Structure 1
Amino acid sequence: MLPNQEKLILSEYIGIYEVIIKRDHWIRKLHDIIDYDFIYDELKDKYCLDNGAMAYNPIKLFKLLMLKGKYKLSDRDLIERGETDMAIKYFLDLAPEDNMPHHTLLTKFRKLRLNDELILQKLLSKTLEVANNLGIIKTKTIIVDSTHTKSVYNPKSPIEILTEESKALRKTVYEIKAEYKDMMPSKPTSRDLDDHIKYCTELIDLLRSDEQLAFYNAVSEKINYLEEIVNDDIENKISLNDEEARIGHKTADTSFFGYKTHIAMSPERIITAAVVSTGDKADNTYTQELIEQSIENGYDVDILIGDGAYSGKSDLEYGKENNIKIVSKTNQYVYSGNPTASRCKGFTFNKDAGMYVCTAGHMAIKKVRNGGKKHPDKAQQTTFFFDVNKCKVCPYKDGCYSEGSKTKTYTHRLPSKLHQDQVDFQNSKEFKELYKERYKIEAKNSELKNSYSMAKTYTSGLFGMQLQSIISIFTANLKRIITIESKNNKT
């Protein structure tokens, strides 16, 4: 049963908040900047309203998820910190002497209540509403880019993951108490996942029973992290391996295994839209969706600023049809692929690596350019070559790779009238002035990674990444609004 209103805090100790949490403390401002009751309204259909035991207030649990990303802690460690951190209790509208909820409530809330993508998009829309009400957003420009998040699991088997994490835990323990080398449970020798889960559980129980080790955060945090991985597996009956994560490329020589968050941001550095995808998706895959989502969230768009990935034919055509200026430097390989190669569906250009990527996510290994100055009578084109050994065993080879072929290529031809017009715009003074704003989104991506825990996932699966990303963006937007409002008040 879900309570239909929050209880008034009655405590003789409530005055302590006024003493220790200053008026300019960021968590006090985060508490006051928005009415969080909308969380209750959005989630009430996820609960039984008139039957069963009383549910813990979802607003408090949601606020804890905001802090989880900020503090980079496991569910257990966040709850433990909240027991003694008055700023956290203030943010949750708890009395100083109140107990924090059990950490398993937070885990279940994340998995069972926030499992609706529409709810996540509502969070982003709410921050735009706050910014508009305060008169913070004064432009109709969005800056677009994507940032990658590495999967915490990596492309490894469940047994490999458990082995690595348990090894890291043992190593930390040995640095503190070397005598534990003779006390540890016997390592499993089989390749049975249940044996490894049992071993990790025994290891956790043994170390947690030592009160002296409990004083060392380096040990307790690793114990809690390993336990969270094991419990996630037991509760969900799924592999610890992240089956939905994909390999993406930052350059021709570097790659990552995980996801991408494609974002649109105003020049005031308020994120107006976000789409989460697997790591193999090209940056420009969701350009139009970012524009439409920004508009749906209450932000008009007449200018889009992005790097060379956003100068593709479809983006320029969309901009022209909707009177949106596309401020993106033309990249010759984004123009279009081989118009005759209709059988090669899903090939995308990775602008960082300067290579095409096939449907299976494999990057070309070399490129050869034909025509141009040496052959002015021929159309300029570039042929991209793929590793044919991978094509032979590729699950997508039907209709793409001809059995017995010694090579696999993809040809790109240059450019259309549409892109010639974009080149002319690119050389204008207006374009150059607008393009100076693009650096802001690079700084925002860095902020999301370093300050809001988006460098690595803390769960598996695409929806888990969507939840992590949107809550991080929700919190980042509110903090940005607080910063701008504080500056405005000083002036």
Structure 2
Amino acid sequence: MLQPAKQMTVSFHAELYKLIPEDHQLRKIHEAIDFTFIHELVRSSYCEYYGRPANEPELLFRLLFLQVLHNLSDDRIIEEAQVNLAYKWFLGLNPEDKLPDPSQLSRFRNHRLGAGAVDEVLKSVVRQSIEKGLVKSKSIIIDSTHTLAASQNQKPLEVLRDAAKRLFRVVVKKHSRLEKKLPRLPELKKDQNDAEKIMLHYLAELGETVETLLPDHEGAISEKIKIAKIIVEDERLLANKGIMSAIDPDARFGWKSSTKSFFGYKEHIAMTEEEIITAVEVTGGSSDDGKQLKELLNQTLSAGIEVQEVIGDTAYSSKDNLAEMKSKKIQPVVPLNPVVHHGGLRQEGFEYNKDADFVICPAGQHSIRKAVQGSKQNGKSRSLVFYFDTDKCKTCLFREGCFKPGAKSKTYSIRIMAEHFKEQIEFENSDTFKERIRRRPIIEHKNAELKRYHGMTKAKYRGLFCMRMQAILTAFVVNAKRIVTLIEKMQPAS
């Protein structure tokens, strides 16, 4: 049952709060940010008239805020808040009041905010910055950063075995009478050639059996069955290029450069020149940065930001992105790279990675070298040709229709069609472009802040849903800090 927000009651011990300095960071944040929006935001996820009284949403949200601000775990933030005067004051509690159980933070984060409200959390703080007159620019800067998964990547056999064991255990734990009806884990010999296929078949059989025996399954069983289905249906799994964790099936293998890789997620970010984050989109580590521009732009516009200019790197200079910005009368300040646009693609499933400067095929293999074909003088379209390792193509699971038996090479070409970019090329050569593109690096400082001080280097939880929650809450905290800084800059010097 949801109750109205409570006020701090008068307490003899509240006199202790006078010890908190007036210039304390939490006093400034409390003064600058309105947290009451959260009450209406999560109201629909509570029963208003029945059940036990719930801890008020603002208290729990402020706890999440402190948790991200100081990069603490659920248990640790409760421990710290119980004895920290500044925390207690910020939470609106008396010094002698007790804190909620740490489990309530997880419940609030996943079932209250997670019930469709988390997107509005970021919009609310962006709108507050607009109302305070802090956002004057009409430009946004976009970029992506990466976060390591909370679990390690595994080989296909390990993924399959772990997923099967986890599903088997949870079913037996909740329904011990069904243990004998479940198919037994196959015994595999060391270095058995078809071990992965046998385990894949077993996982599929186990999942189907559980669904037959428990048609009304829910909770942990439903979660494990869902993961099993995702793994079984992943065509790239056996090629060691798809799902790489039975614990975190949403995490993906991505590239930071041609030699550096990571396993985890990408956070695609848009922010104003005042360094207010306006949009966050979270994807697996293998996703294409350029494809996120439209969503970032739409999120920014829906938050109330007027956009007349987008500043970004070459990943966002595709033909489709330029057309999207042109349709909204937005000036793209993005250096052109012809290999990014999709106009010359001949086969589906091939993607260009701008950080590593190679093409990735549907099986997950990347090209080993590239060359330019065509003449600059004849006026015809030239092509960038990417070459693949034919030894790998010969044994690839996806070779049918892609690699011809006996072929000496496997290439993939992308046409360079400069005529589609004539207007942008002219702008790129202007002094205005050269001046405005210098603003792009400031988003690198924002990415560093998210990682260095607020825990975005590594995921705290598993799964895309939880990673998105972590990213948006972190963006809210960083925006709140920035709003305080901007307000102080606006105040006349004493």
TM-score bin (small chain): 0.7 to 0.9
What is the distance in 1 between the residues matched to 2:332 and 2:338?
16
How is 1:236-275 mapped onto 2 (pairs within 5 angstroms)? Answer: 241-275=247-281
**Residue 150 of structure 1 is aligned with which of 127, 148, 151?**
148
Shift of 1:321: 2.3
How is 1:69-468 mapped onto 2 (pairs within 5 angstroms)? Answer: 69-116=68-115, 118-156=116-154, 241-336=247-342, 338-339=344-345, 341=346, 344-372=347-375, 379-388=381-390, 400-401=402-403, 407-468=409-470
Amino acid at match of 1:450: R
Q: TM-score, normalised by structure 1?
A: 0.79
Shift of 1:390: 5.3
Structure-2 residue corresponding to 1:17: 17
Look up the SS of the partner of 1:385 in the other structure: strand
* Larger mean Cα displacement after TM superposition, 301-310 or 286-295: 286-295
CA gap 1:365/1:144 in 2 versus in 1, 3 angstroms: same
Shift of 1:392: 6.1
Amino acid at match of 1:410: Y
Structure 1, residues 19-38: CA drift from partner, whole Å, max 9, x if none? 1x222211122222222221
Look up the SS of the partner of 2:13 in the other structure: coil
Amino acid at match of 2:145: T
Shift of 1:257: 1.0
Shift of 1:155: 1.2
CA contact (8 A) 1:2 1:49 kept: yes
What is the distance in 1 between the residues matched to 2:457 and 2:470?
11
Structure-2 residue corresponding to 1:62: 61
Structure 1, residues 291-320: CA drift from partner, whole Å, max 9, x if none? 121111100111110011111111112222
CA contact (8 A) 2:7 2:92 kept: no
Amino acid at match of 1:95: N
Shift of 1:15: 2.0
Look up the SS of the partner of 1:252 in the other structure: coil
Shift of 1:240: 6.3
What is the distance in 1 between the residues matched to 2:155 and 2:114?
26
What is the distance in 2 between the residues matched to 1:159 and 1:69?
36
Amino acid at match of 1:59: E
* Larger mean Cα displacement after TM superposition, 263-272 or 354-363: 354-363
Shift of 1:371: 2.5
**Residue 470 of structure 1 is aligned with which of 463, 469, 472?**
472
What is the distance in 1 between the residues matched to 2:247 and 2:407?
35
What is the distance in 1 between the residues matched to 2:430 and 2:63?
48
Structure-1 residue corresponding to 2:197: none
Look up the SS of the partner of 1:298 in the other structure: coil
Structure-2 residue corresponding to 1:171: none
Unaligned 5+ segments in structure 2 are 171-218, 228-244
CA contact (8 A) 1:247 1:257 kept: yes
Count of matched residue positions in the alignment of Structure 1 and Structure 2: 422
Structure 1, residues 386-439: CA drift from partner, whole Å, max 9, x if none? 345655676766655557756432201113323232222111011111111111
Structure 1, residues 331-381: CA drift from partner, whole Å, max 9, x if none? 131134534x1xx224332211111223454432221222346x8586421
Amino acid at match of 2:431: K
CA contact (8 A) 2:5 2:56 kept: no
What is the distance in 1 between the residues matched to 2:168 and 2:119?
41
CA gap 1:332/1:33 in 2 versus in 1, 3 angstroms: same
What is the distance in 1 between the residues matched to 2:10 and 2:156?
48
Structure-2 residue corresponding to 1:188: none
Structure-2 residue corresponding to 1:48: 47
CA gap 1:246/1:194 in 2 versus in 1, 3 angstroms: closer
CA gap 1:378/1:137 in 2 versus in 1, 3 angstroms: closer
* Larger mean Cα displacement after TM superposition, 467-476 or 364-373: 364-373
CA gap 1:434/1:32 in 2 versus in 1, 3 angstroms: same
Look up the SS of the partner of 2:460 in the other structure: coil
Look up the SS of the partner of 2:385 in the other structure: strand
What is the distance in 1 between the residues matched to 2:138 and 2:446?
18
**2:36 is the alignment partner of 1:30:** no
CA contact (8 A) 1:288 1:315 kept: yes
Shift of 1:453: 1.2
Structure 1, residues 77-104: CA drift from partner, whole Å, max 9, x if none? 1211111111221221111111111111
Amino acid at match of 1:467: M
Structure-2 residue corresponding to 1:204: none
Unaligned 5+ segments in structure 1 are 162-190, 198-231
CA contact (8 A) 2:4 2:56 kept: no
Structure-1 residue corresponding to 2:176: none
CA contact (8 A) 2:5 2:58 kept: no
Structure 1, residues 108-134: CA drift from partner, whole Å, max 9, x if none? 222222223x41221111112111111
CA gap 1:75/1:405 in 2 versus in 1, 3 angstroms: farther
User: CA RMSD, aligned part only?
Assistant: 3.0
Amino acid at match of 2:456: M
What is the distance in 2 between the residues matched to 1:482 and 1:324?
29
CA gap 1:235/1:86 in 2 versus in 1, 3 angstroms: farther
What is the distance in 1 between the residues matched to 2:220 and 2:77?
21
CA contact (8 A) 1:156 1:241 kept: no
Structure-1 residue corresponding to 2:2: 2
CA gap 1:160/1:103 in 2 versus in 1, 3 angstroms: farther
